[in-house]
Amino acid sequence: MYQTETCFEPFVDAIVSQLDIGVLIAEMKGRVLYHNAAMPRLLGLGSDHPIANLKELNRLKLQKLLYRALFEAGEPDAISRKSKSWVHFEHKLVEGEDVRYLQFKTGVLEMPQKKGWVRLLMVQDISADKRLEAVLGGPQPGGLVTNDPAMLEIVERIAQLAPTEASVLLQGESGTGKSLLARLIHAQSRRAGQPLVEVNCAAIPETLIESELFGHVKGSFTGAVDDRPGRFETADGGTLFLDEIGELPLNLQAKLLKVLQEGRFEKVGSDVTQTVDVRVIAASNKNLRDAVDEGSFRADLYYRLAVFPIYVPPLRERPADIDRLSQHFLERMVDRGYSSRIQLSNEARKVLMDYPWPGNIRELANAIEHGMICAQDEVITPDSLPPEVREYRQCAAQPVAKTVVAASDEEQRREIEDALKRAQGSRAMAARILGIDRSTLWRRMQRLGVQ
């Protein structure tokens, strides 16, 4: 602790000495009475550098930043008198190649049991948030909102791989944000000024997907009344994002592999070879390694796509994001006409935290909107949430059914159907009730023909 007034030690140092946020208390004339260990480190002074006077921070132009913030807060005479207003402002700190963004909050407080006032200054490093904003073009609806260490690590890895030409495979459950990450990769790549073309392979009929990807010539099939470019041709020079690539038929996987390896293909009905320069980002909600083992996905294509594989964790593995995303969706819904005064109750927050979110972020957004519609006196309670969310705890609290291992096929089918009924169709919840994982449940449903 660095200070000249020991009276601050008992009630300040024990609380703030270990905080990552910098805390400093100074007399109005600038003499520093106290600061915690984080403050000099955040300001680039070194962790063992005591600060004796605010004048030592002149290189930060702290006084100028403070006056500007006061002017923006509506105090035009801030220079001629001591303002007691609390203000926020940001500062970009450049030290060689190191660039950090700091957020300041400051105001004045009356000294306890003494006459006079002191200035309280708090500093927080917001560099991670600023980097995300730079990638996304600033905060926006649908932007990446996360506090989760695993997701922030993915963002850092994307910053490393994006400038390369490596193919990327994003794997994770539906609704985890794979499409957004693909856009992040494109935005940070050298192809950012070129097209980003997105294709959902699961949404295109099998009979049309070859034409959709590679284009066709007039008369190549019934309905082909004109030549038509495919998505590869449209994405030439840019990025092609193939979502749900696990749904691509085997006969087209070989043709896709040829494009990835040689950059060449032929349109449907044509023998003319075209050349394209396209970076491919693929995504799947299936485990493609399992699909390779099952024979439904080519091993050579898998290894060509998975030069840089990224696993996107489901929302239930990112508990820190549930509350932050909930607040984000509350704010975003205001733009759609909902009241800005609607808040989540603590009980509703707990219900949201306990739910496994089989639909991930997409399901959470729907749940928040449902809660805003059904809010009571502008408060979202557990009763305001969708039935499958609020009833999950009651469902999960029921005795767990025996694991379907030695039962006959008919018994297994009945138990799976009963679990799905209790879980209102949620496979994640049904798997929990049965005491098995989702992939095991999916395989048994496929084998037993359970829809």
CATH of the domain at 33: 3.30.450.20
Last residue of a domain, one of 125, 140, 161: 125
Same domain, 275 and 144: yes
What is the pLDDT at residue 3?
Answer: 46
CATH of the domain at 361: 1.10.8.60
Same domain, 304 and 159: yes
Per-residue pLDDT 10s for the chain (451 aa) are 444 455 555 666 666 666 778 888 888 888 888 888 888 888 888 767 788 888 877 777 776 777 677 666 655 444 334 556 678 888 877 776 666 788 888 888 887 666 678 888 899 988 766 665 554 444 433 357 887 888 888 988 998 899 999 999 999 998 999 999 999 999 889 998 898 999 999 988 888 889 889 988 887 777 777 888 889 999 999 999 999 999 999 989 999 999 999 999 998 888 888 999 999 999 999 889 889 988 999 999 999 999 999 999 999 888 889 988 999 899 888 888 888 899 999 999 999 998 889 889 999 999 999 999 999 999 999 999 998 888 876 665 555 444 444 457 788 888 888 888 777 677 777 877 787 777 678 778 877 878 7
Same domain, 163 and 256: yes
Burial of 330 (0-12, 13-18, 19+ CB in 10 A): buried
Last residue of a domain, one of 344, 369, 390: 390
What is the pLDDT at residue 269?
Answer: 87
CB 441 within 8 A of CB 450: no
Same domain, 206 and 265: yes
* Tokens (6 digits) for 287: 């485990």
Last residue of a domain, one of 271, 292, 311: 311
CB 56 within 8 A of CB 77: no
Same domain, 154 and 296: yes
Distances in Å between the Cα of 36 and the Cα atoms of 11, 22, 118 are: 13, 6, 16
CATH of the domain at 139: 3.40.50.300
Same domain, 21 and 107: yes
Same domain, 288 and 254: yes
Same domain, 153 and 232: yes
Neighbours of 412 (CB within 10 A): 19
Same domain, 297 and 196: yes
Q: How many domains does the chain have?
A: 4
Same domain, 306 and 320: no
Same domain, 291 and 365: no
pTM for the model stands at: 0.60
Give the range of the structural domain holding residue 274, as residue numbers without chain letter.
132-311
Same domain, 303 and 342: no
CATH of the domain at 420: 1.10.10
